[in-house]
Amino acid sequence: MEIVSRRHSRSALGYHFVFVTKRRRRVFFGKVEAALKRVLSEVSVGAGYGLELVGVDRDHVHLFVTAPPDAPPSEVARRLKGESARRM
């Protein structure tokens, strides 16, 4: 994780998110897992977030994301979950 310098501040914000499937269904394996990682990477690049680490188990996903200080954690989570769900 790198330190981001702006005009009046320096920050290094990292968020750990865990997303579970509905009713903990085991759907993340094989092609679905690969597609999910690709989609999450595309969404994070498009939003300006740094996707540092993605861990996928069969019924949940761990994400470690870096974001600028003006992006609230709820917005980061909403954007990653919403856009990845629509694309999947």
In whole angstroms, give the CA distance from residue 45 to residue 65: 11
SS3 24: helix
How far is the C-alpha of 75 from the C-alpha of 73, rounded, in Å?
5
Domain ranges of the chain: 4-87
Each residue of 22-37: pLDDT tens digit? 999 999 999 999 999 9
Question: Quick count: other Cβ atoms within 10 Å of Cβ 15?
Answer: 16
| Superfamily, domain 4-87 | Transposase IS200-like (3.30.70.1290)
Residues 6+ apart with CB under 8 A from 56: 28, 33, 36, 37, 62
Q: For 28-85, write each residue's pLDDT tens digit.
A: 999 999 999 999 999 999 999 999 999 999 999 999 999 988 899 999 999 999 999 9
Cα separation, 76 vs 14, in Å, equals: 11
DSSP reduced 3-state for 23: helix
Rounded CA separation 71/86 (Å): 21
pLDDT of residue 15: 96
